């Protein structure tokens, strides 16, 4: 059980790093325009700061497997799956953003790690 929790924490950390890197890449691609968000880079940065703080708080919960750990794990994994899905949709519809090898590679890795994170979280919650 302890090994599974350590695995969950490692997957969470890797996924968070991938998503944070994706958000850095998103600033390059002006993602707020792609989503039609008002406020430009300023709102984009504020939203990313809030999300990063939330997910860092969740990381503490997952590391110690405190109350709320599964929810934070699922939320981060869902964010990774959503990021892959929505950007794949945009790419398939001809948007040029996120089409570099590294940009798309980060999205694919995020998707794979997110799926692994879901599986590990399910396994832990079934045995607690």
State residue 2's pLDDT score: 63
For the stretch 44-69, pLDDT in tens is: 999 999 999 999 999 999 999 999 99
> Residue written as tokens 């996924």?
15
For the stretch 70-121, pLDDT in tens is: 999 999 999 999 999 999 999 999 999 999 999 999 999 999 999 999 999 9
Closest to 11 in 3D by CA, of 124, 118, 125, 122: 118
Q: pTM of the full predicted structure?
A: 0.95
pLDDT higher than threshold 80 for residue 128? no
> Residue written as tokens 């929505």?
86
Cβ-based neighbour number of residue 125 at 10 Å: 13
Q: Is 39 left (phi over 0), alpha (psi -120 to 50) or beta?
A: left
81 is written with which tokens? 């799956």
């Amino acid at each position: 059980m302890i090994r599974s929790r350590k695995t969950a924490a490692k997957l969470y950390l890797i996924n968070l790093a991938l998503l944070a890197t994706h958000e850095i890449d998103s600033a390059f691609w002006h993602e707020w325009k792609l989503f039609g968000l008002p406020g430009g880079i300023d709102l984009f940065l504020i939203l990313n700061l809030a999300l990063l703080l939330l997910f860092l708080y969740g990381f503490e919960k997952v590391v110690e497997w405190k109350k709320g750990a599964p929810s934070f794990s699922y939320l981060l994994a869902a964010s990774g799956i959503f990021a892959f899905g929505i950007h794949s949709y945009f790419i398939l519809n001809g948007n040029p953003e996120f089409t570099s090898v590294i940009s798309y590679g980060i999205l694919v890795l995020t998707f794979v790690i997110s799926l692994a994170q879901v599986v590990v979280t399910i396994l832990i919650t079934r045995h607690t």
